[in-house]
Amino acid sequence: MSLEMKIMVAMCDGNRGFGKNGRLPWPRLKEDVDYYLNKVKHRNNPEKKNVHIQGRKTWQGSHRSRTSDHNQIQIVISSSLDASKDPLHPIVVPSFEEAVKVATSPEVKSQVESIWIIGGQRVYEAAISHPLCKRIYLTRIYKDFDSDVFFPSFEDAFTESSDPEVDGTIREDNGIQFRFEVYDRK
Ligand X SMILES: NC(=O)c1ccc[n+]([C@@H]2O[C@H](COP(=O)([O-])OP(=O)(O)OC[C@H]3O[C@@H](n4cnc5c(N)ncnc54)[C@H](OP(=O)(O)O)[C@@H]3O)[C@@H](O)[C@H]2O)c1
d(CA 40, CA 89) in angstroms, rounded, equals 19
CB of 81 to ligand X, least distance (A): 6
Residue with Cβ nearer ligand X (65 or 79): 79
- Measured from the CB atom, the residue of 58 and 108 that comes closer to ligand X is 58
Per CB under 6 A, residues contacting ligand X are 9-10, 18-20, 22-24, 54-58, 61, 77-81, 95-96, 118-123, 126, 149
Judged by beta carbon, residue 28 or residue 47, the one nearer ligand X is 28
Residue 61 Cβ vs ligand X, minimum distance, rounded to whole Å: 4
Closer to ligand X at the Cβ: 74 or 78?
78
CB-neighbour burial class of residue 104 (10 A; exposed 0-12, middle 13-18, buried 19+): middle
Q: How far is the CB of 1 from ligand X (least distance, A)?
A: 26
Dihedral angle sign, alpha carbons of residues 84, 89, 95, 97: positive
DSSP string, 105-174: SHHHHTTEEEEEE---HHHHHHHHT-TTEEEEEEEEESS----SEEPPP-TTTEEEE--TT---S-EEET
CB of 3 to ligand X, least distance (A): 19
